[in-house]
Amino acid sequence: MRVAVIGSGSWGTALAMLAGQIGHQVRLWAFEAEVVATIRATRENSLFLPGFRIPDTVVPSHALSEVLTDAEIVMLVMPSHVCRSLLTEIVPHAHERMIFVSATKGLEADTHLRMDEVIRAVMKDHFEPRLVVLSGPSFAAEVARGDPTAVVAASEMEEDRLLVQESFSSGAFRIYTSPDVIGVGIGGSVKNVMAIAAGVVAGLGWGYNTAAALITRGVAEMTRLAVAAGGRPESMAGLAGMGDLVLTCMGALSRNRRVGVELGKGRRLEDILAETNTVAEGVNTTRATRGLGQKLGIELPITEGVYDMLYERKSPRAAAAELMLRPLRDER
């Protein structure tokens, strides 16, 4: 199939590699002209995913019109904070027959919308997009390396989620399907907030007891929010919920966890972010998750604690103490 991948960060590049290895004709859009030139010259994205050869079936470009021409599947892998603006540039080159695969895990900061909601909001005046949300435990470097990985493709339209499943599954990349677009979108986004909290635990030097408690209560928090938003609780026990949460909270490759580790060591957020050229989605998503919880009337104590550390400069130990000294309650 003809596949357009919008976004050449580590995850976008890994998905383009996967599609190219399967045999699809892939065009990869990059914002940075440097990335396009480097891939053409060396077949490697040395800025965002160094050390992996990109198949010749992947053609990089800086022109959206070139990338989107005749595309049958469009994989949207841009950072969440540029999703809306970039979609407005995509619309003139898009049509209703395309299947849009949202592979960005985050919530829009001001509106608190999931990425699939942003896509529909931008495109609704032109056509109703065919939408699939792709999420699950998937570090880009491990996908690029060919490590066995399982993710989930969610869509209200069975035909579309099955097409994505069949088109991108391989011996090393297994895709399950789900009709729960809301739950899968919430899980893939809010786990990044929990990963920052898990990093703080490590940065403070605390052990497995604390990490296990955080992950378990993180699932409870994610589930409350997903259900209140209209999602299914069982999705939080699946790949986009517990699966991605465990990976992002415990995996050393997690950008969000690294932010938390440095916070736990007492460093300032702006100094941490200045050291990386990649996006830690959990920083913006924390603000959006907190806002969504307030709008829905849902208690999100871990999210509140992370928000206070990121935006109110509360010390990690003070935030942890508030969590531990909350009124006692039943687990259910």
d(CA 116, CA 184): 11
Helix (H) or strand (E) holding 13: helix 10-22
Q: Catalytic amino acids?
A: 191
Terminal-to-terminal C-alpha distance of the chain: 47
DSSP 145-203: HT--EEEEEE-SSHHHHHHHHHHH--SSEEEEEES-HHHHHHHHHHHHHHHHHHHHHHH
Contacts of 165-170 spanning 24+ positions with Cβ under 8 A: 167/1, 167/22, 167/24, 167/73, 168/18, 168/19, 168/22, 170/18, 170/21, 170/22
Q: How many CA atoms lie within 13 A of 180 on its CB side?
A: 25
